[in-house]
Chains A and B, each alone.
Chain A
Amino acid sequence: MKKTIQIGSSISTSNFLIVFTVFLLCMAGLMALYSASLHVEASFFKKVIGKQLLWMILGIIVMFAVFLLQKKILFDGAYIFYWIGIALIVLPYFFGSSAAGTNRWFVLGPFHFQPSEFMKILVIITVARYLSGSDLIISDFKSLIVPLLLALLPMGIVLKQPDLGTSIIYFMLVFPMLIWAGARMYHLFIILAPIISIITAFNFYSFFIWVLLLIVIFYFSKERIWVAVILFVFNLSLGFLTPVLWNRLKPYQQNRIMTLFNVNVDPQGSGYQVIQSQVAIGSGGLFGKGIGNGTQTHLKFLPEQHNDFIFSVVGEEYGFVGVIVVLLLFFMLISLLISVAYRLRDRFSSLVVIGVTSVLFFHVFINIAMTVGLLPVTGLPLPFLSYGGSFIISCFIMIGLIFNISLERRR
């Protein structure tokens, strides 16, 4: 009993720190949005900053609502919620408004919902639920199949919308959860290997190194020899076939796949956005140009400055100091969340927290890596900073979920 209280109090300390970090991140976002909407002629609540503030308030209300939910309902209803979620992300194909040629939106009166945002949370809960099943043997490879399918189904649907960023998130969030649940690293490697084979196949040297790595790993794995050979040959042939298949595709088909990996590429020329974003960040220097003085931002060189490239606004106007502060805040938030997951007693709760942490982390990493030109443009927003109603609300739901789970007293 004494220990429970102790755990509870240390978690509530970290909860306080989480709230504080989230608050600071929201403030950073609002400051950047303030700057980005400086020259917009509109009343406050018509500007992105005003609208974002309203979304945040709505998010906080929703967060409290989530906080009141009972964990038992989440645990028992996980699969039902999952299928409802699947139904919702399929719906935009039939009733959605296709903003900018995509099928992501779901219009409900004045609100545009992007159900795929909320589906992330449902995937987390369902995978956590499955991995907390009492008869599950996690060290068995077969146990990994269902969680992967749970992620692949919405991934496939959302990929068709097309929203590459979100669908990648569905897939990625499963891996930290599997690791957390105790899956064997070797199994995860086998799952990821074909993907790496395909990607590296486009360059001879990268593929060569990858094949060497495969040989080493299969050699040291305690895998039965014929299984190892089959896996190796499979990956090898996948790598060899990829360029052949790619060249047999018609140009428009290639183009379609290319656009999938470059959803927001500006028609003005490939890489234009990323170059301008790097110029914005780079010209910020150590201390930045000061609020409202970012020439890249205000001369509209910077694309998508409210959404996917908000980090570049921070970089330009607050400089290296500013972006490091934001990075540290994110690092602090994620470490705090991992620690909370570690301290939780039951596996389900712990896995939910890890799932949420993964989603937040991948968003942060992929988004920032994109703005600095380390990853291709996939169209993932930056949590708490980017403008966008559905996304900000789903972020607050995730935070609410963590509070809910970490403060649960019925043990």
Chain B
Amino acid sequence: MFYLQNNATSLHRNLLILAVFSLFLILGIRLYQLQIVDYNRFAGIAESNRIRVVTQPAPRGIIYDRNGQIIVDNKSQYNVNLIPFEVAKNDSAFSLLSDILNIPESEIQRRVKKNWRGNFLPLRIAEDIDFETLSELEERRLELPGVMYSLEPIRSFPRQAHLSHVLGYLREIDKDDLQMIKNYGYRPGDLVGWKGVEREYESILRGKRGFDYVQVNVHGQEVGKVQDRHSVETQFGNDLYLTIDIGLQAYAEQLLENKKGVAIVMDAKTGEILTTVSKPDYSPGLFSGIVESNVWNELLNDTERPLFDRAIQGTYPPGSTYKIVAVLASLEENILAPEATVRCRGVYKLGRRDFKCWKEGGHGRMNLFDAIVNSCNVYFYTLVRKMDVNLWARYGKKFRFGELTKVDLYGESQGVLPDEPFLDKKYGKGGWSEGNKLNLVIGQGDLLVTPLQMVRFTGALATHGKLVTPHVGLQYMEHGTSRFHPLSFSSADSIQSISASSWEFVEKAMYDVINSSTGTGRAAKVRGLDVYGKTGTAQNPHGEAHSWFIGYSKEGGRTLAVTVLIEQGGSGGGEAAVTARKIFSYCHKNLPVETGEKEVAVR
């Protein structure tokens, strides 16, 4: 035999079984003691052993403008919550609740189902109840075990200005945002910044909810604080300061009232956005708490698209404002000598196609300078014929057209800057012609820009090549320590490859656009202020042309870049330039030129 004999005896077997039996018997006796003898005691402990975690929602940080004016504040609202397990035992609870809250029973049932997180966890059934309802609820509290109300902070907007797209809005987290719940400690039903700075600076603005552990008995009545768990203090969110000047913002919004369009004012040296308006917009008050679905749907289905931020999401052909790019290319690459002239007869013939200048009958002889001031198309048609499309595109790329500006707002578009590969791809090799180039040079055709890209471009012209990162966030104040922390953005790049003389040439021409008697931007002239600009009239296949104005003012140490776009506003020298003038004039009169360090008023 291969193996040794098993020499265990029946004594061994019985001994082990006996040992096991006795040890199990000890367990059995202990269980008898716990479950039968001491049942009443333990049942009592378990009954009163119901800790209810009372959440103290944390107010989000307050949002201020650059001067310390409150833009977004918090206010409180009362919400009603219930615990399913405890309400289920009470048959009349729903009908009673329906009476008090004035909500149909079926709707309450629906909300219970929608917000259910667990049989023992509170869920929300009503929001923002008034004081009368609240006192009635309080009176009948004993009839409604498991129903309670909570005080929760919501957003309030004390100012006239909407600033809707910049502020963005909050959204309720639902069960589908599990990733977020898991990674950042949100809970279903929490509000989270979903658009605008509320989204961008969520981590700064968001507070940390506190917990109180309250021991309650089976009837939902509090029996005291829990001994061995400490409550967690609510942490307020940090206060955020924006670069926005709320007075200018309100003024600019008023200028664009009942129009469709954009106005942006940016500090050309720092990229701080003082104002950005996109009309039509909506009242941010609609989003103070949890948005009701009918309001939401109305906004979504509005054909005017009020939720759409035209300033950063809208892409438009820039029209003649974009001619500056070709000017710089010509000067730098010596395509056409600045003093060389082209005769404009109002039309440029390319094969059998006629490319028109905006001025019927033509401008006559134009050199480069005159062509900018008068915005003569024919000059630029002639110019671009001598240029490779890639060369033209290269100068657009220097200003980062076709790229995101990395503004601290969510959902930015990047626009389109066509070059040869792009055109080849779109039309096929040889499928496009010189005609495309002619359209591109006057800012038409496939070229698409966002107003924000244009204001950065304007800023670069004003600062002779400084490409800033536009931003609306300025700094935040840490709650608790009250220390200010500046927000940082990628530092400005400067365009090295364009010579000072070219920048100066363009600047002089842009000055004459405003100040010469034939300049297209005469309407933007402000007495006592140096304004430089360029108009644009972008053809719009859907109706009247979009009216563009880009320009900047220099006053003391401050350089403000302004971009105005009025959709279907006609000629850029008209409505857009007038709006820009009012903005420049407002800034000139109302915004003190800052000298030295910025000071921010603390409330």
Residue numbers of A with Cβ under 8 A of B are 38-39, 41, 72, 75, 132-134, 176, 179-182, 268-269, 272, 278-286, 292, 295-296, 298-299, 301, 315, 319-320, 323-324, 327, 330-331, 334-335, 338-339, 341-342, 344-350, 354, 357, 361, 365, 368-369, 372-374, 411
Contact = CB atoms under 8 A, between A and B. Distances in A.
A315 B8 contact: no
Interface in B406-431: none
Given A296-B46, A299-B49, A365-B27, A345 B6 contact: yes
User: Ordered nearest first, which 10 A-B pairs have the shortest CB separation?
Assistant: A282-B42, A346-B3, A283-B46, A39-B118, A350-B6, A320-B35, A282-B34, A342-B13, A283-B42, A347-B4
Contacts of B13: 338-339, 341-342
B26 A374 contact: yes
A339 B36 CA distance: 33
B39 interface: yes
B49 A301 contact: yes
B296 interface: no
B41 A282 contact: yes
Interface residues of B, number: 47
B83 to A, nearest CB: 11
Given A132-B3, A331-B21, A349-B6, A284 B228 contact: no
B6 A344 contact: yes
B24 A330 contact: yes
A349 B34 CA distance: 40
A331 B25 CA distance: 10
A334 B17 CA distance: 8
A268 B36 contact: no
Contact of A180 (B3, B12, B28): B12
A281 B31 contact: yes
B7 A347 contact: yes
B20 A334 contact: yes
A299 B3 contact: no
A407 B8 CA distance: 19
B35 A319 contact: yes
Contacts of A374: 26-27, 30
Interface of B: 1-8, 10, 12-13, 15-17, 20-21, 23-24, 26-28, 30-32, 34-36, 38-39, 41-43, 45-47, 49-51, 85, 117-121, 175, 228-229
Contact of B35 (A323, A327, A330, A344): A323
B233 to A, nearest CB: 18
B4 A281 contact: no
Contacts of B35: 281-282, 284-286, 315, 319-320, 323
Given A179-B16, A299-B49, A331 B30 contact: no
A331 B26 CA distance: 13
A134 B13 CA distance: 23
B7 A369 contact: no
B54 to A, nearest CB: 14
Nearest to A411: B1
Nearest to A341: B8
B412 to A, nearest CB: 35
B522 to A, nearest CB: 65
Nearest to B117: A41
26 contacts: A41-B118, A179-B16, A269-B228, A280-B46, A282-B38, A282-B45, A285-B35, A286-B35, A295-B46, A298-B120, A299-B49, A299-B50, A299-B51, A323-B31, A324-B31, A327-B31, A338-B20, A344-B6, A346-B1, A346-B2, A346-B3, A349-B3, A349-B6, A354-B16, A369-B30, A374-B30
A272 to B, nearest CB: 7
Contact of A285 (B3, B23, B43, B121): B43
Nearest to A335: B17
Contact of B34 (A278, A292, A411): A278
Contacts of A132: 3-4
Contacts of A357: 16
A320 B5 CA distance: 43
B216 to A, nearest CB: 10
Nearest to A71: B3
B430 to A, nearest CB: 53
B222 to A, nearest CB: 15
A411 B4 CA distance: 11
A75 B3 contact: yes
Nearest to B121: A39
A4 to B, nearest CB: 13
A278 to B, nearest CB: 6
Contact of B6 (A39, A133, A323, A346): A346
A299 B4 CA distance: 56
Contacts of A180: 8, 12, 16
A357 B51 CA distance: 41
Contacts of B23: 365
